[in-house]
Amino acid sequence: MFDYTYRSVVLDDVDELAAVQTISDTHDGRTWATTPRQFEELLLKPHVDLGRDTIATVDGAGMIVGFGFATYDYGDGIDPFVQLSGSTHPAHRGRGLGSHMVAHLETVSRGHLENNGVLSTGGIRTFVFAGDTNREELLGERGFCVARIWNEMSLTLPAIIEPRSVPDIAIVGWNDVDIADLYRVEQEAFRGQYAVEPMTFPAWQEFYASPGFRPDLSFVAVDDSGDVLGLSWNYVDTADFDVSGRKEGWIGQLAVSPDARGRGIGSCLCEHSFAAFRQDGLVYAMLTVDTDSSAGALSLYEGLGFQRIHASTVYEKRLEAE
């Protein structure tokens, strides 16, 4: 007989949460690390109520063996989906823990949607990494459906990189332009894209100052008038190096103003990023991409030589009024 109890997550749990996540990721063949700091950042976000939005499964020895979150960042209702995330220690799977936590978090999600008046237009969204058949089966049983596929892609950086040029376009450093112009272009570029909720300027500043962000490895495209037309926001997560055995630089966001697309600006920004990565001692360029992006991102990255190494499936569920 298994002895488990459930409670809300508290801030002091971050070490145990990271341990469960790391063990699960290693077991499932993922090649990145989730640190206590990253959990702390999530739990401290102003829209997260630990007593309401979290659940931890605790074994008979008092150790966390599973956890889940249901978070909703309100925004302006353009993409009103509650985000579900969590993990169960591999040694404790198959005992109904995941089913219990998901059922609880669905109730939490309903409350978020009802309280914000978006039950009829919103839903619940979660990611499942390729090969995680247990989670796929669990979500299918609970009425979740496949909505999207995201690819994690990798490029081995050549020893010498000569970035292309674009007529009438200069590539400058991240700190060489007004941050308000970067915000404007990024918001324009992703407006209307799947699962994108517009961000306020302060929220955008906080997101883009995340740990790991490397302004020295990030670039901006400007025209002859100095107007910002595109950007590549890049970061390095050194915690992943020991897990993956790879020195990776990430293109976190590549954004080009809709009116400036088709001129090679995105490819030019990527190649400047590649050259900076190589000079910094990194060996691989990494990114994730929505395979159905209306901006044609997948074909752009494939044309630059990126290859898929992992995939994740986005599952969604709509909730009916009771």
CB 235 within 8 A of CB 252: yes
Q: Is the pLDDT of residue 249 over 90?
A: yes
Measured in degrees and rounded to the nearest 5, phi and psi for residue 181 equal -70, -35
> In this predicted structure, what is the pLDDT of residue 296?
80
**Residue 42 to residue 18: CA distance in whole angstroms:** 12
Residues linked to residue 86 through DSSP beta bridges, in sequence order: 68
> In this predicted structure, what is the pLDDT of residue 79?
84
**Residue 31 to residue 80: CA distance in whole angstroms:** 31
Q: Give the whole-number percent of the chain exceeding pLDDT 70.
A: 98
Q: Is the pLDDT of residue 140 over 80?
A: yes
Measured in degrees and rounded to the nearest 5, phi and psi for residue 306 equal -65, 145
> In this predicted structure, what is the pLDDT of residue 304?
96
- When mean pLDDT is compared across 72-81, 157-166, 245-254, the lowest value belongs to 72-81
Q: Is the pLDDT of residue 24 over 80?
A: yes
SS3 278: helix
211: confidence class by pLDDT, cuts 50, 70, 90: confident
Q: Give the whole-number percent of the chain exceeding pLDDT 90.
A: 78
What token pair was written down for 167?
Answer: 């007529």
Domains and CATH numbers, the chain: 5-143 (3.40.630.30), 153-311 (3.40.630.30)
The helix (H) or strand (E) run that includes residue 207 is: helix 201-208
| Amino acid at residue number 292 | D
